[in-house]
Structure formats: structure tokens, C-alpha cells
Amino acid sequence: MAGVAPGLPVAREVALQIGDFLAAEPDELGGGDAERFLEEPVPQRGGRALARITTYASQYNHLVAAARRLKRNGRPILDDAVARQKLGRIWADLEVERYGALRTLTMLERGEHPGAGGSITKLSYSEFEKRFMELAEEILGPYGQLTDGVPAEYRLEVDTAIGDHGTWAYAFLWSRAGTIYAGSSEIQKNVIGERILGLPKETRADRVGGSR
């Protein structure tokens, strides 16, 4: 990550500008159809993909540094094989997110729209962030649960997925909301199943007896 860190601010700013440019107005997405509005993948998810990855990478660096400093049973947490394995999985997941973001940005650069594929992005990063912050709380212990009064050496302030500045505790709480806002994980799974995999639509009262 040492080679990536110097470019994080620039990459983040570029991705934010792309996201702002691609963000559509609600009426452009919904077209008056409430169901379509709720399920339509938001274009800015692709534009802001790189911003999320750079934020996660910065958070990961902070967490590894904390694992080096904090001790458990008289030894640094990073010396524990299980802790290293869990951190390794998060790193691998982060690489998957990074390649997914680059794929989406490549499509946008070509003038293509991710379409229903945006639901894969939303589902993937929402569930990843939840796993990531759960591990952060596990490593940080009580220091990860405080929003104030944390010792300076463990005052690891981070940015949330939407750019708000806060503590690890706040980031953990926000990660739970990530599976709900902008289309819950359940909705994203429906979109993926119906529009990408071609599975039958779920049974709903307003669809019974219809041609849909």
C-alpha cells in the first residue's frame, strides 16, 4: 500500500468529480415508475467506485498499524496467525473491489452504462464494508467503540463511505446502514437475479394474475 498512498488524494478527487458529473436527477432515473426508481442502479455508484476503494485502502492501512501497536496476551495482535488470516482476507476482498471498480470505470469511459451490473457493485461493497468494520472492532477492542476520549495513539479517525469524518465506532455503525440505504441488499439480489441471471420475478401481491 505504500506505493498507493501518495496518489490517494488525487485519485479520490478525480473519482468524486466523475461521480458528481454522472449523478442523475431522480426523475431521470425513475421516469415516474416507483418500482423502477427503487431498483434502478444509480450511475454515480460507478463514478464513485474508485473513491470508495481509496478510502477503504486508507482505513486498511490504519487498521494494520493498530494491529502492530496493540497487544493481546503480551504479543502484538499482528503476530497472531488468525488475525493475519482475517486481515489477509480483507485485503483480498479489497482487491476484488478494486478490480470491480476499474471494470466499471472502463465501461463508463467507453460510454457504456453498467445497467443492472450496478447492483453487483452496490451489493459487493456494502457487504464488504460490513465485514471490514466487524474485523476493525475485533482488533481495536474497546478503542473501536469510543467516539470520544480515545488515547492519541489509538485515535484512528476515518472517513465513512460517503465522506463524513468520524471515528471507527461511527464507521462501524454506518456500515450497517450501507446494506439498507440506496437500495437494500435484498433489493440488489432481486435485481441481479431477475435482470442478470434471468430468474423469475418474486411473487408479489401487485403481480399476481398479471402478465409481468
**Is the pLDDT confidence value at 203 over 70?**
yes
**Is the pLDDT confidence value at 1 over 50?**
no
pTM: 0.69
Q: How confident is the model at residue 210 (pLDDT cuts 50, 70, 90)?
A: low
The rounded mean pLDDT for the chain is: 74
Where along the chain do its domains lie? Answer: 5-200
**Is the pLDDT confidence value at 7 over 50?**
no
Confidence (pLDDT) at 156? 59
Confidence (pLDDT) at 17? 41
Q: What are phi and psi of 72, to 5 degrees?
A: -135, 125
Confidence (pLDDT) at 161? 53
Q: What are phi and psi of 198, to 5 degrees?
A: 75, 25
Confidence (pLDDT) at 208? 64
- Count CB atoms within 10 A of the CB of residue 50: 21
**Is the pLDDT confidence value at 10 over 70?**
no
For 146-194, what is each residue's pLDDT tens digit?
Answer: 888 777 666 656 655 555 567 888 889 888 888 887 778 888 888 888 8
Name the DSSP class of 170: H
- Decide which of 65 and 28 is more confident: 65
Confidence (pLDDT) at 157? 63
- Decide which of 46 and 77 is more confident: 77
- % of the chain surpassing 70 pLDDT: 68
Q: What span, in angstroms and rounded, lies between the C-alpha atoms of 85 and 83?
A: 5
Diameter of the chain by CA atoms?
A: 66
Q: Which long-range contacts (CB under 8 A, 24 or more apart) does 204-207 make?
A: none
Name the DSSP class of 149: -
Q: What class has domain 5-200?
A: mainly alpha
Confidence (pLDDT) at 160? 53
Q: What span, in angstroms and rounded, lies between the C-alpha atoms of 126 and 180?
A: 9
